[in-house]
Structure 1
């Protein structure tokens, strides 16, 4: 079984699906999965990832130990998962230091272009009659444009949601009855 499949199974068993699933979104998803598999192997003492997975899935105490180990390594896994975004920002910083105005502004031109394309497409899909056979196709494109293109632009300029999610989790923990 692939590391990502093993990890998703373990995440479901321990209730860490949202946290672990978020780490696979970037370019380093496979590296994160391998690190999580290493944690599973360390917790169980197994060298075979599949055997480690099976042991954790069948033992509630191992599930708890695995969850604790993942939470202990959370910062390291977050850093690995979002490392690719730092590279994009470093590239933009280097571009801003150039003398060529087009190179300095390219990312802004690209973001503006896709923002205009998304707006025009949204207006067209809203106000233009779409043939019944093409509705699902149009919806798929709309989902891609909004969910990928616009979300990536916002993520690039305003940062990823990892920090926001972490802040929400900390606030929820403070508001829980156990904390009071």
Structure 2
């Protein structure tokens, strides 16, 4: 009942106008109180979000029946190019004119500094052993379960608000009865004092 304390505060003047702003009075009735309780209840909001998530899962499961296609991209930046350097080669002295000359092969580039990799994937389900149908069925069952939980949350919020509303109405009635009794006692006391002053009693 702690979650309904704020509602009890609002209902302290139920059955009579309250001021929403400086000019527009409104009256709280049971229907208005129930609607406010549902709109502001965190459990109801959370349950409704769960329903939306479950419905998205159904659409996702159904999409597998139509095949899937995707594009992946990767980008890699390196400080320097990746090169393979070969050792220097010294020609033997028996080689005419070039004997004893040292030659260094140029480096071979394996990968540049900027590398972009793209992957395109596509697939169509030819035979799945009814796994997709089972996944869709499970997802739909999840929707039904979450919708039931959402309805339970709404019903609970409405029940609490109506119980609180009726409790405040009863409390207001008790206050009115007590006030009438107090006024009656005051009137009798006043009559008794007048009679006493006149020496009647």
Tell me the TM-score normalised to structure 1 length: 0.27
The structure number with the bigger radius of gyration is: 2
Q: Could you say which structure has the higher helix fraction?
A: 1
Which structure has more relative contact order (CA 8 Å, sep 6+)? It is 2
Tell me the TM-score normalised to structure 2 length: 0.25
